Structure 1
Amino acid sequence: MEQLNYSVLCLPEDIRARGVEDIPGYYYRDDGMQIWGVVECFVSEMIGIYYLSDESVRDDSELQAWVWEIFSEGFLGRESSGVPSSLGTREALIQYVTMVIFTCSVKHSAVGTGQFDFSTWMPNMPATMQLPPPTSKGQASLERFLATLPPVNATCDIIITLWVLSKEPGDRRPLGTYPDEHFTEAAPCWSIAAFQSRLAQISRDIQERNQGLELPYTYLDPPIIENSVSI
């Protein structure tokens, strides 16, 4: 929590800060940036409908209370986090809402969806460690490595848990799917339809690219990204 900051949660800033803009084959970045862009466009359109000026953002007491609660309760009031305690412009609101949507849907899918795939090879994600990590070179022998790995029963418990969590839920709601229909006016409905169309194009692009990959990257294909955290 002491290291978590606002820029880490905003993908374009995070990519720049980590210096990974030009690394080839970094599909989380490539797919994530595309989706960040269409989410940001969607959010911008929706906010443009309901907030006609920066003043209307500042005057929305419920919005400001929501932002303050996240800052004070979620980030313990740490100003060093860079997380805003209030929002004064439509531009700031667009970035903030884009960050929330992206974190709860896209980033969650990137982190969670592949857990079973990678964790079934136990050394990738051991359930426990029987010895502390090496503190100097020369300690990482094969014998020490094997002695560090968890017992079989602990590994099986984790794999079974991840297998259950990896099963597709029967009530999946992909990103951009809103069956509750909270917005019924023409303008937001148009924006929702445009958002869904842009996501569908990204999905087609990802599937076409994956056909040429020895190990396809599927975790940010929009149809498998849920609207919000599902576990």
Structure 2
Amino acid sequence: MIGFDFFLDRFGISLSVLFAFIGFMSFIYSLATIKEKGHRLEYYLMLLLIVGSGIGVVLTYNLLLIFIFWEISTFSIWRAVGYHRKDESLTSANITFLINFGAATLMLIGLVMLYLDNGTFNIFEIKVYNNLASLFILIGILTKSVTIPMHIWLAPAYSAIPSAIGGCLAGIAENIGVILFFRLFTTGYYFSPEFFMTVAWLAIVSSIVAGGIALRS
């Protein structure tokens, strides 16, 4: 425990190191691919924010802080997708933002409902879950982690985002939804096997569809 609702455990430390490594490699690659282009300050700021928000999510147990980092990630992805300032990239950026913002709004409603039921944003102290709150939060998680049927924003995003930041999108931003799912739905509360089986099948189908789209592209 390191105060201010942040804590260190093996899971968080391992992912933080991994995210930092992904960010470092993306930075190195960016030095060669971005040096002749404009808006470099914004580019590197968005890269830093994507990495930092991912690390923030894995190191806090406060749901409100997780949501703040979550939205920092969404904002950074939006700006990164629209980096080239072309009509196509701006359209892709707006699609990415609107879908993720809408899902995040539902997730925030779910988090507030959990707070009203439990009187805390501390993940380890939440013992009462209602189905509607869980559904709203799950929609946010599925959207960020690009799980069917909330995956439609990803193809436009990858078509426009700079390739180096695309590595951070795949390696960091898409995984913070999985991390929140692990933290929230496997800590101190029992869900039926059918719930986890449904999520597992969604993940499997999403992987197959994503692979098919990649091969087709």
Larger RCO, structure (CA 8 Å, separation 6 or more): 1
Tell me which structure has the larger Cα radius of gyration: 1
Identify, as 1 or 2, the structure richer in helix.
2
TM-score (norm 2): 0.32
